[in-house]
Amino acid sequence: MQEQEKENPGRAERIKQDVCDYVGLRMDNLRLGLIEHLSTLLSTVCSVAIAFILAGLGILFLAAALTWMLGILIGSILSAVFIMSVLFFVLGIVFYANRKKLVVNPAVRMLSKVIFDIDKKYSDHE
């Protein structure tokens, strides 16, 4: 009977240590998954920002070239600048009217994909 009492505290200590180790490993797994997803999110945000900057510069140069060409065709640079400004104003209104479809919904889809992808990569069923 005394041997059994001596073994039980040893088993309880082992179980306690195993549970602590398991919780520690799960926390490490969660932290690593969070770090991976945050790095994916930040790299995606940086890539999108760089793409928008480059696209904006391209549109700026294209608009300048079209304004110059339109000014040559109609004979007035001032009228060409006015026409291009009206065109950009109309494009801005169209973009603002469709902002959910063009910006919000894709951003939500991308974020939800990054956040909820953790279930597929880090499931216990592997």
Domain boundaries, the chain: 2-119
The CA distances from residue 17 to 11, 12, 25, 102, in Å, are 10, 8, 12, 52
From first CA to last CA, the distance across the chain in angstroms is 43
The CA distances from residue 28 to 9, 21, 25, 67, 117, in Å, are 28, 10, 5, 58, 18
Residue 122 has a pLDDT of: 52
pLDDT one-digit tens code per residue, 95-110: 899 888 888 788 778 7
Residue 33 has a pLDDT of: 82
CA distance 19 to 27: 12
Confidence (pTM): 0.58
Share of the chain above pLDDT 70, in %: 83
Contact 113, 121 (CB under 8 A): no
Residue 38 has a pLDDT of: 82
pLDDT one-digit tens code per residue, 70-126: 999 999 999 999 999 999 999 999 989 988 888 878 877 877 776 676 556 555 544
